[in-house]
Amino acid sequence: MVFPNKVEFLHTEVQVKLQDSFMSSEVCDEQGSYHPQKNVIFLDRDIIEKQNADSMALVWHELCHVIFYYYHLEKSLTEESVVNAMSNSFCEILKRNKQLKKWCDGCL
């Protein structure tokens, strides 16, 4: 299954880049990260290439950071506003990104 290099969300495309495991775990001490200034998600290549539930959890974890950023959820941290933004965004992301949905299906 081919992993997508971008995710369409709201009015933008978030770039997704895989990086060497050494860089992500040893140098940066993280498996993934979202950088809003460049609108890019960096992910540990080895984890993504395993194509399992852990891979999918990492992708969705970083997408949650994207959602948090775009909806300015740090300003309205009520349970209902966070849950509403996340659930609606999950549906939008899956609907607009067929390649990502297909990849996720392969992970499960």
| Confidence (pLDDT) at 23 | 60
> Residues of the chain with pLDDT > 90: what percent?
81
| Confidence (pLDDT) at 21 | 75
What predicted TM-score, i.e. pTM, was given to this entire model?
A: 0.90
> Do the Cβ atoms of 16 and 43 come closer than 8 Å?
yes
**Dihedral sign from CA coordinates of 43, 9, 73, 88:** negative
CATH number 1.10.3470 is the correct assignment for the domain at 6-107: no
Q: Provide, for the chain, the percentages of residues in helix, strand and coil under a 3-state DSSP scheme, each rounded to the nearest 5.
A: 55, 20, 25
Q: What is the pLDDT of residues 15-47, one digit of tens each?
A: 999 998 756 555 566 899 999 999 999 999 999
> What distance in Å separates the CA atoms of residue 38 and residue 14, rounded to the nearest whole number?
9
